[in-house]
Copies of this chain bind each other. A is one copy, B any other.
Amino acid sequence: MIDAAELNRWVTGFDQLYGLEFVSCGEEEVSARVRIDAQHRQPLGLVHGGVYMAMAESITTIATVLSVAAQGNTALGLSNNASFIRAVGDGTIHASAGRRHAGRSTWVWDVEMSDDDGRLCALSRTTIAVRPLHA
């Protein structure tokens, strides 16, 4: 497991803009959160679907990058399929991802995003391409 301070050095650009905070990261699981305020909402006052998808995309891509770097590889998102289950407007969104497949050229992750009461808000399945770093 990589500690949160080390992980949060990866929070730059867009992830910093919307306030991603890593909690923990291993080879097979990774978790993070976003504290919700007005800047995360869509016009109806609910958390914007793009926030869930950005979280899922970031944490599974970064977890893959960190794991494949030792073999001289990097990683890049190939697809992200999200289902929105429960609309929430406040609190913290907690994302937890589990690795389902670690192939030579693609990794597959399942991400669950829940509210402060542990109720499922969104699901995302990401496919991350693994490529040689100097290609």
**A40: which B residues are within 8 A, CB to CB?**
13-14, 17
Q: Which residues on B sit within 8 Å (CB–CB) of A17?
A: 17-18, 39-40
Q: Which residue of B lies closest to A19 (CB)?
A: B17
Assess whether A30 is interfacial by the CB under 8 Å rule: no
A41-66 vs B: 1/0 string, CB under 8 Å?
11110101111011101100110010
Contact among B16, B41, B61, B79 for A14, CB-based, below 8 A: B41
Tell me whether A108 is interfacial, beta carbon within 8 Å: yes
Which of B15, B50, B85 makes the CB contact (< 8 A) with A101? B85
The 5 closest A-B pairs by CB, nearest first: A50-B54, A14-B48, A13-B41, A53-B53, A49-B57
